[in-house]
Structure 1
Amino acid sequence: MTMPEIKDRAKELGIVPGKMKKAELIHAIQIAEGCTPCYGRSNGQCPWQECCWRADCFTTKA
């Protein structure tokens, strides 16, 4: 997902992206959606098969 897409999703949830970095913004989205803010912290192991951030998460260190 691109940053503009992530920012749009955040805005839909009432989050003001401002100058948040990608991981910070995704964590805010995860919290707003009632999920654990785990993006970039998985160390290659994740039980959430349906997570829309999953593929990108494994290549990111938050």
Structure 2
Amino acid sequence: MRQLATDAPVAVLPRPLERMFSVVWGAALFGEAVLRVVGAYTLPVDTMVWLGGRSRP
């Protein structure tokens, strides 16, 4: 009988390098979000629009 993919264990831990990349990306994206929220409440709208346009190609 064939083994189904759903029969595989659910809790498979990622390799250490993959975990490190995930943590770094997560921290960077969370930091960017925090800076955007702080900037939205402290900087003028024109400045935030200018900064937002600079972050995308």
Q: TM-score, normalised by structure 1?
A: 0.27
> Larger helix proportion, structure 1 or 2?
2
